[in-house]
Amino acid sequence: MALILARTAHPDRTRAILANLEAPLAQLFPPPSSGPGQAAEWNDVPVAGVDAHQLSIAPGVELEYAVFRGLVVVSTSLRAMGAIARHQHSLADSPSYQAALGGSPTKVTSLLFADFSQLLNLGEQMGLTSGARLSAVRPDLERIRTVGLTSSSGEADTTAELFLQIP
């Protein structure tokens, strides 16, 4: 599961920008020229009272986004998006989040948290991990459990921090 969460001061503009990116993004995933497969397709999916937009890339491989309550949520899991919409539990309370981002500032402009092993598996399902260079470093990449990224803005500067959990 990968999840990107950011705040927006202009939700309507953000929705319009993301909607305009749907067609170009779907074109990045053409159907295979031979064998089984599907054309990438956008669908509107209600989740926890929120209108999510879901790009079906391949069977079992989806990317969703939604804009609600001043948040922009991009995820590979409707369940994760629903948990954010419902506020059932805090991501900050999960052990994997604590390991990757537990020491981050309390006020951030944007946040990325990903289970890196699932992200590698997703890349493999999409055929993005077959190159010789990636094969050479894959054993090292498989050691990474979670990835976290935070950014925060001050009056005159922006700071971004990347965290990797490697046991």
Mean pLDDT of 49-53: 95
What is the per-residue pLDDT across 154-163, written as a single tens digit (0 to 9) for each? 888 888 888 8
Higher pLDDT, 133 or 52: 52
Q: What is the DSSP string of the chain?
A: -EEEEEE-S-HHHHHHHHHHHHHHHHHTSPPPSSSS----EEEEEEETTEEEEEEEEETTEEEEEEEETTEEEEES-HHHHHHHHHT-S-GGGSHHHHHHHTTS-SS-SEEEEEEHHHHHHHHHHTT-S-SHHHHHHHHHHTT--EEEEEEEE-SS-EEEEEEEE--
Q: Residue 141 pLDDT > 70, yes or no? A: yes
Ranked by mean pLDDT, the top range of 34-48, 88-102, 112-126 is 34-48
Instruction: Read off the pLDDT band of 94 (50, 70, 90).
Output: confident
